Amino acid sequence: MRQSYRLTAKQNKQHNTVVRVRDVNIGGDELVVMAGPCVVETREQVLEIAQILKNMGANILRGGAFKPRTSPYAFQGLAEEGLKYMAEARELTGMPIVTEVMDTRDLELICEYTDLIQIGSRNMQNFALLREAGLTNKPVLLKRGLSATIEEWMLAAEYILAGGNDQVILCERGIRTFETHTRNTLDISAIPAAKELSHLPVIVDPSHATGKWEMVNPLAKAAIAAGADGLLIEVHVNPEEALCDGAQSLTPKNFANLLEELRPVAQAVGRLS
């Protein structure tokens, strides 16, 4: 099985890959936390939350300028205007930024602004997009698809590596199961499995995995205990007013509590936090 993704396979590389996003290393000893709103709404919103998160100790700012939505009538993002706000937040705080690309036609534009490209779960098997991402010099955050097997996830990463870009981060964000209490089911077992099969860093998105902010804290701790290299957390100043995914977004206060509670877990598994 591993020969089908020979560049991604751990057995074919002597050391684990550490992905560098500006001055942030992902896959080393340090626990990395990416945080921010699901989608960029206004300039003021992004600049405010960026400064808050920077002061709290987050490493990378997340925010969607192009947002895939199940309904065509839902808010789809601010496009280039949102990218400009994210870039301004980076200048203000010094934090690298990560944002999602949905279409090969937008990739060049997004690369002009972002430090880390996110390929979301819906596009995990968008092979044209994976190939184009492989030709860039930008690190790529590759989310596991809604119903993807671990092997399919590894093969999606292989497309990017085969194009010459070996700066890939795997992201487990929950898979679709028969359970309806949560938005998705976080596959904790995928973390050690990915670590065993691949040399690439693995992070976890407990926000999308559950769809409920109350469950983000315990699942974030479980992910770190299981060996994840970092977390992707949605944080919004006023989640009840968020234009997207407010139900799964932490307030700044709850985010601060999460960081505090993560420290002993990270230390127990040999992580710097």
Domain chopping of the chain, boundaries: 2-8+17-268
| pLDDT at site 67 | 84
Q: Where are the beta strands (DSSP E) in 120-226?
A: 140-143, 168-172, 202-204
Beta strands (DSSP E) in the chain are 19-21, 24-26, 32-36, 60-62, 97-101, 116-119, 140-143, 168-172, 202-204, 230-234
For residues 229 and 200, the answer to whether their CB atoms sit within 8 Å is no
Class level of CATH domain 2-8+17-268 = alpha beta
pLDDT at 237: 96
**Contact call for residues 159 and 130 (beta carbons, < 8 A):** yes
pLDDT score recorded for residue 1: 46
Distance CA 194, CA 40 (A): 31
Contact 156, 162 (CB under 8 A): no
Q: How far is CA 110 from CA 64, 66, 67, in A?
A: 11, 10, 13
Cα separation, 101 vs 209, in Å, equals 20
pLDDT tens digits in sequence order for the chain, 273 residues long: 446 899 999 988 989 999 999 999 999 999 999 999 999 999 999 999 999 999 999 999 999 999 888 888 888 889 999 999 999 999 999 999 999 999 999 999 999 999 999 999 999 999 999 999 999 999 999 999 999 999 999 999 999 999 999 999 999 999 999 999 999 999 999 999 999 999 999 999 999 999 999 999 999 999 999 999 999 999 999 999 999 989 999 999 999 999 999 999 999 999 987
**Entry pTM:** 0.96
pLDDT at 73: 86
